[in-house]
Amino acid sequence: MPVGTLGSVKAMSPKELEEIGFDIILANTYHLYLRPGIEIIKKSGGLHKFTNWGKSILTDSGGFQVLSLQKFRKITEEGIKFQSHIDGSYHFFSPEKVMRIEHDLDADIIMTFDECTPFPSDYEYAEKSAKMTARWALRCKTEYKKLQSKQSLFGIIQGSIYDDLREKNANEIMKIGFDGYAIGGLAVGEKKEDMYRIVNLLDKILPKENPRYLMGVGTPIDLLENVERGVDMFDCVIPTRHARNGSVFTKNGRLIVRDAICKDDLKPIENDCDCYACKHFSRAYIRHLINVNEILGIRLTTIHNLTFYSNLMKNIRKAIRKNNFSEFKKRFIAKYTREKK
């Protein structure tokens, strides 16, 4: 899912996202609550009409964003009191309030409000945090039922890098019952092997018939590794953020297109890519645009990166259907990580 935190995937129009092939984007409850405010979105008829995006939307509950405000928030059993990163004003999120906000946003998939466990956390804190997440998940489900919402509600599993806490929290969240299950609190600084171990563990526990969503991941290799471990859905700012820094993804690895190596390079970013940037412009031209701060430069790198990610996921689905995913993964990683001469 391309990340449209504020209701817009940076540098892209809804039409362009649809043309690339995306069926769903992510928006963020915390940020939209602060700006432009829930009332104007509700008055507009919901987030789809407000943003003119006709396909699916998933809204994150804001737990991760509140985590990042460690100096400006206080967690209690009732919820989280926090200060806005914009103007310092005080606000309060409870599980019930977040459900009402997400209901008013009218996204297709909404997330429970969790305490996103920071990393590193000692065992005692991670256990306390996971228990809080489970209690909040039950309150979210109760409020969701009161709202008679037709949205899909996903529960979030916490427990840091501790196997027993993850297993216990997963069973508690599953007992409440949700339409899908998200793995939170990873990609926050832990080692890759810890991420993969936790996802492997949850693959054995979570029901096969429900979507699994690994939040905030990731790199092309992370997508492949975690699909192999049973994950269905991802979101990450990597493709758009790297694009704004002049970095593009190719089958042969990442290319820093803003660097001097591309100054006289008249090839497209990637020869066999069918995106608008590759069909019409050279590396040299895109580098020039970026280095003179022309907006078109980062629009073109964003179009390419999102096309690369969209095509990667399409090819993953195709490989799974043909029952040759392992072979596809091996070939992709070998080419992507091959040392460049």
pLDDT in tens, 55-107: 999 999 988 887 677 778 899 999 999 999 899 999 999 999 999 999 999 99
d(CA 107, CA 324): 34
User: Residue 253: beta bridge partners?
Assistant: 250
User: Residue 286: beta bridge partners?
Assistant: none
Residue 339's pLDDT is: 66
pLDDT in tens, 308-341: 999 999 999 999 999 999 999 999 999 999 965 4
- Angstrom distances, CA of residue 205 to CA of 4, 6, 157: 31, 34, 12
- Using alpha carbons only, give the angle 260, 261, 263 rounded to the nearest 5 degrees: 60
The domains of the chain, with CATH numbers, are 14-235 (3.20.20.105), 241-336 (no CATH)
Active site members: 60, 235
Contacts of 76 (CB under 8 A, 6+ apart): none
Q: Would you give the DSSP letter of residue 262?
A: G
Model's pTM, two decimal places? 0.96
Coarse DSSP helix, strand, coil percentages of the chain, rounded to the nearest 5 percent: 50, 15, 35
- Angstrom distances, CA of residue 328 to CA of 219, 223, 335: 16, 13, 11
